[in-house]
Chain A
Amino acid sequence: MPAESRRASPTPDPDVVGRSHPAHLLFVLPYFLVFIVLVAVPLGLGAWLSFQEYDMLGGYGGYIGFANYADLWKDRIFLGAVRNTIWFVIITTPTFVIIGLFLALTLNNAWRRSAILRSIFFGSSVLSVTIVTLVWRLVYMPDRGLLQNVFGVFGLAAPNFMTTEYLALPGIAIVTVWWIIGLPMMLFLAALQQIPAEIYEAAALDNASRWRMLTRITLPAIRRTIVLVALIEVILQFQLFGQANLITNGGPNNASRPIVMFIYEAGFRDWALGYAAAASQVLFVLMLGAAALQLWLTRQRPEAG
């Protein structure tokens, strides 16, 4: 074995690939510095801030222990925001997975028509949240919106997503899915194209129905991508802010107020930075927990299968 004889030789070659050398740290240094300055330090500062009474307006501050957290626990608006956010993640994440997968399965072919549709579905992702919410406000507008016009043709009244409490979050979810369904679709397309055509041919010779091919060949083959999409969407949708802020402004009656909006208002409207930082820590723990849960679930699966 050449590798072993090299290791055994009395004077090791300093140029051998794979040997560690202090100077190699230089290669990691640029990223490491950015990570320290822009991620680690703010994270630590945020945690420290959450234990402070820190009023930007009054200009005073001081250590108050867990008081911010205790206040949050009693703050009905905050608890509502947590509930709203979790509910929003629960309704959007499976929707992203199911619709993204459906679009990818439908458009995974070489037809020109599919190429055009892929571009269209992905196209909305490049729009900014302001444009997207503007468009959808025109759709949802109670009297003259597109939705009302369509329902009006049949003599019906359109559901009012912007002013009905239980419809506000689903309305925002529809906007969000429409806006960024392109990424899950593309990830699923990439995964589908990794499956060799020969396997489907073997399945065709094995008399597999379309349903059997989907459940026994396709889905197992792209399981990792399904997990990835779910993970990305959970992390992304926990941070809901722009759409809720611009479409419903958290209303009606706080029915669509998400955590990030609560943080924004506490920090930059009420200038209670410590309180906002504490809320941020709660969001951080929620996201960490959801991501960890998913990773744990996926690590369990291979043994079972």
Chain B
Amino acid sequence: MGGIALRHLAKSFGSVEVIRDLSLDIASGEFIVFLGPSGCGKSTLLRMIAGLEEASAGEIAIDGVRVDALPPGRRGVAMVFQHYALYPHMSVRENMAFGLRNVGQSQDEIERRIAEAARILEIGHLLERKPSQLSGGQRQRVAIGRAIVKEPKAFLFDEPLSNLDAALRSRTRIELARLHQQMKSTMVFVTHDQVEAMTMATRIAVMNHGRIEQVGAPMDIYRRPATRFVAGFIGTPAMNFVPVTPVGGRSGQTVVRLPDGSEVATAILDYGISGDGELELGVRAEHIAAGGGIPARAEVVERLGDRTLVHARLGDGTVLVFEDAGDSRVAIGDPVGLAIDGARVHLFDANGAAHHAG
């Protein structure tokens, strides 16, 4: 129970099309993250599921029942808002009880659910406080608690971690992942933070310009991004992109030439992607190593402790970021020879579509 089906959804605000012809099936019990830059339509999509925005076209079904004509309260979903949206003049207990009272739940049941949620979230000692007497992290827990007591078919989260400081954010991330395992309910989570998406999601839907660019498990999206947009959006540091010229196949696999003249033999099958000639090579920092034959000079050295990121400039001016060991001895200005792992690179054609090895 708790599966969500979106069919040909569209949403326009005036003449601005925010969501266009979007279809997606969210399985019951799944933790799906809508990931994308601001303005990509991810929050609007979430609000359409919640019933806070009306769909311009299309259907939404929860548990096999069409809900797009129902008011928000009757869709069986609970939402955690970015700014928590706690009722400021009600105590924590009243905040959690409000929704249950509105549907005529018995007082015993309300007390039982509040006690249960308070136990899970460890907020029992806060029940009589007002939201203004709580810290940001505590408010966040109360907002989640208010969702839990409703025992919804699906939880909707609208960037709920963006107001927390870095330490609290990573802790809450872990707690949310644990909560999901514990409750086994469907969770839809909107964020622009790829780390949140990668760490919590069972599946990520990467969105751009009101469309889903790719849906998949986090590591699938990381390893095999479907488009150049996804490749650039996922991963820190961002993937290196270099315009390349195909120089024909070698034993059926594509060989490309970098702007500085060096050639990279990829493991990508040559099935004619080099057709019109406009190609871009995508390679992550961890798939470039020092000690190869591509001449470059270190320009910036970022020491992160466990690893070192080196920004190296090739002869023609192209800059590639590569990953070196934590105790790397590369210094600014040092000449380095780069080796690109041809088995792990991606090629993007003029339409932005990706081609991978294997």
Give me the interface of A with B, judged by CB distance under 8 Å. Answer: 196, 198-199, 201-209, 212, 216-217, 220-221, 305
Contact = CB atoms under 8 A, between A and B. Distances in A.
A305 B102 contact: no
Interface in B36-61: 50-52
A204 B79 CA distance: 11
Interface in B45-82: 50-52, 71-74, 77-79, 81-82
* Residue from the set B50, B99, B150 with the largest chain A CB neighbour count within 10 Å: B99
B78 A209 contact: no
B275 interface: no
Contact of B85 (A199, A208, A216): A199
B87 A207 contact: no
Contact of A196 (B83, B90, B99, B150): B83
A304 to B, nearest CB: 12
A202 B77 CA distance: 11
A221 B83 contact: no
B248 interface: no
A209 B102 contact: yes
Contacts of A216: 87, 90, 98
A207 B87 CA distance: 14
Q: Is the interface of A mostly helix, strand, loop or mixed?
A: helix
Interface in B75-134: 77-79, 81-83, 85-90, 98-99, 102-103
28 contacts: A196-B83, A196-B85, A198-B81, A198-B83, A198-B85, A199-B85, A202-B86, A202-B146, A203-B98, A204-B72, A205-B51, A205-B72, A205-B77, A205-B78, A205-B79, A206-B73, A206-B98, A206-B150, A207-B99, A207-B102, A208-B73, A208-B99, A208-B102, A216-B87, A216-B98, A217-B87, A220-B89, A305-B89
A221 B87 CA distance: 9
Contact of B74 (A196, A207, A209, A305): A207
A201 B98 contact: no
Contact of A202 (B74, B81, B89): B81
Contact of B102 (A196, A212, A221): A212
A204 B73 contact: yes
Contacts of B87: 199, 202-203, 216-217
Contacts of A199: 85-88
A160 to B, nearest CB: 47
Given A201-B81, A202-B87, A204-B71, 20 more contacts: A196-B85, A198-B85, A199-B85, A201-B85, A202-B81, A203-B98, A204-B52, A204-B72, A205-B72, A205-B77, A205-B78, A205-B79, A206-B98, A206-B102, A206-B150, A207-B102, A208-B73, A208-B99, A216-B87, A217-B87
Residue picked from A196, A198, A208, A209, most chain B C-beta under 10 Å: A198
Nearest to B50: A205
Interface of B: 50-52, 71-74, 77-79, 81-83, 85-90, 98-99, 102-103, 146, 150
A207 B85 contact: no
Nearest to A204: B72
A202 B160 CA distance: 14
Nearest to B75: A205
A206 B99 contact: yes
Contacts of A220: 89
CB-based closest 9 A-B pairs:
A207-B73, A206-B99, A198-B85, A202-B85, A220-B89, A207-B102, A204-B72, A205-B72, A198-B81
A202 B51 CA distance: 11
Contacts of B103: 207
Most buried by B among A201, A205, A212: A205
A49 to B, nearest CB: 48
Contact of B98 (A208, A221, A305): A208
B256 to A, nearest CB: 50
Contacts of A202: 79, 81, 85-87, 146
Contacts of A201: 50, 52, 72, 79, 81, 85
Contacts of B98: 203, 206, 208, 216
A95 B269 CA distance: 81
A154 B74 CA distance: 49
Contacts of B78: 205
A118 B72 CA distance: 31
Contacts of B51: 204-205
A221 B85 contact: no
Contacts of B89: 220-221, 305
Nearest to A206: B99
B54 to A, nearest CB: 13
B179 to A, nearest CB: 19
A199 B146 CA distance: 13
A209 B72 CA distance: 12
A286 B82 CA distance: 49
A300 to B, nearest CB: 16
